[in-house]
């Protein structure tokens, strides 16, 4: 969940195209997500997100070299159907985090609903929506929570922050076995290198 730097002004042209606008209008007309082609899933958008996220999952940060690369909606498209093509709502994630997150999007205040926002406006609504809703899910494009993360020697991740705990445990399952094992390996490799250099220093 390390914060990434995303240019919210430099929107991929494909997300502003006429067929996306038509799909947006269709979603608005039916008050639900109805895009059978999933037009947010295009190569140019994924390419940009892969660069922004350095080919890592937005939530668990594992490398997505040969793993499935999902374009994930911070605010679930099945609930916030008018944000399906919103640049400030699209993240890169692994399949496990995306599937686990699903439509999990708990908020502390009142949920926003569609309020006649235009297609041209959808790419810059996240900040104002955050004020209205106060989402529990951490947004790596907006927040730096690195100093609030705690790692133990067993490879588990935790925090004293309720939003981070919600994201770790309830949304993305960031203490799943594969991630814990990778963290333990990183920790053990660090310890072994430290001990190796200590021996060299002590015998020199």
* 3-state secondary structure (DSSP) of residue 1: coil
Would you state the pLDDT for residue 92?
Answer: 97
Regions of the chain with pLDDT less than 70: 204
Would you state the pLDDT for residue 95?
Answer: 94
**CB-side neighbour CA atoms (13 Å) of 12:** 23
The DSSP letter of residue 107 is: B
Distance CA 31, CA 167 (A): 28
Would you state the pLDDT for residue 114?
Answer: 97
**Tokens linked to 68:** 């499935």
Would you state the pLDDT for residue 50?
Answer: 96
The counts of H helices and E strands in the chain are 6, 4
Would you state the pLDDT for residue 66?
Answer: 82
Burial tier of 179 (Cβ tally within 10 Å: 0-12, 13-18, 19+) = buried
Residue 158's H or E segment, with its range, is strand 157-158
Would you state the pLDDT for residue 90?
Answer: 98
């Amino acid at each position: 969940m390390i914060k990434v730097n995303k240019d919210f002004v430099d929107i991929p042209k494909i997300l502003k195209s006429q067929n996306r606008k038509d799909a947006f209008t269709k979603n608005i007309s039916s008050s639900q997500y109805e895009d059978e082609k999933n037009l947010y899933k295009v190569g140019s958008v994924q390419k940009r997100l892969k660069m922004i996220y350095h080919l890592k999952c937005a939530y668990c940060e594992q490398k997505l070299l040969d793993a499935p690369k999902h374009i994930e909606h911070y605010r679930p498209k099945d609930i916030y159907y008018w944000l399906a093509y919103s640049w400030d709502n699209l993240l890169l994630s692994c399949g496990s985090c995306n599937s686990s997150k699903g439509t999990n999007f708990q908020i502390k205040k009142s949920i926003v609903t569609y309020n006649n926002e235009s297609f041209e406006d959808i790419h810059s609504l996240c900040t104002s929506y955050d004020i209205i809703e106060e989402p529990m899910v951490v947004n790596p494009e907006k927040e730096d929570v690195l100093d609030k993360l705690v790692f133990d020697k067993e490879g588990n991740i935790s925090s004293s922050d309720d939003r981070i705990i919600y994201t770790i445990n309830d949304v993305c399952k960031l203490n799943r076995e594969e991630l814990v094992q990778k963290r333990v390996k990183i920790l053990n490799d660090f310890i072994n290198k430290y001990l190796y250099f200590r021996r060299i220093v002590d015998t020199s």
